[in-house]
A and B are shown apart, each in its own frame.
Chain A
């Protein structure tokens, strides 16, 4: 599996996800600077966590307008698997690749903790190593993870089985306890929790490994 990690100014989990991809999927991803306009030929594009552009204005807003995003969007529309983690999820909603928006946490504070997620729909390249209904422990670390969408959008997400993960104990006020969603064709996944931080017992959990294994097996 060949992958690319997009690096925005202020990304800070770019290295973490690259380490996870290399450790589990076996090869080192291309690190692509936001100012580029060309993407290498890859099987997977990852938008990493962090604080692109400081998350000033709105989380993910400025990153969503970076030069490289034009190509990321084009490829995603062609069905190229695209994964957004945390800030990456925010970027995906800002670009419209995923519906809805991520608002300030209901408690207003930044929250970094392990949360239990329910795997809602495991039928995608990102998740097929999990089983529907699995409960997994993955850390979150965000200030703006409160998922919002209007009623029609929410209904569509639920009806089309686009909710990938739900919080068991909602840390941020997200509607329908949503922690991660797919696009309609399941080629794009955005989630607030950090699977790349759950890839070793020494880090507290190994439950993120299956996401990278799913990708490796599928792509």
Chain B
């Protein structure tokens, strides 16, 4: 049932088609629906780090929870599909055990909370044993050799296996988590703000480590952070999320040199840089409330280029150049309204 699809060089490891996932809650009798993930389509290929940028209320955390089938009610998948190359069908159509069987062998995770991700009362080696022993499938002595060599390859001293998490620094704990996430050489790794909690100096070396281990394993990675400077130093391709939607996607260089969506342009333009003290323009208004999003393009209330159509219609993610897609009417006339259920709802 988990026989992987034929692996051609170009077929994507992850393909997400029109995914919609909403928080559906009932507060004292009134139904509230928060459209955290609203009609997102994206693909991640082999040996590629796909960066996902967006602010705190952009829904990027809900998105990665949904594609990892880690979403718990009230976050429910409402539409669309999530297909991995190592699964013969949508991950949400598999039962809990089938998904668990895939975890860590094919799909692993690096989380932000470097402080408390490892079990505080047991030694590091127990985490390696719990997460990887089943998937490595070797007798114990051989298993510990594999773990030791893996750690050495990541410039980590195998003696940390005997340590407790609270005995390690934040940076060291994050390196251990990266080693843990890559021990089974999974095809797909999800990294959720892995360096946000780290100091600047440690952050740079941890990013280097992620980069090296990904390239050496040729695996695919979805790298999520709000920090554009981090994306500039790690992502191959970059997707920008705003209010639950993908507004622009392109190779990292294109995003930084020729941003087409006004929000992306603002994010890059407002980044302070040493050596440039020119006045940085600020963006008006504040991120929309996802439970009552503005109609049409959700960025229009804050957008300097907002026109009449932007208030009514939802711009579809349209390809303007090879690999460069954008969802903004002002970006180019070629962009049409998305024929999604959204527009019919807006009309209602």
Partners in one complex: no
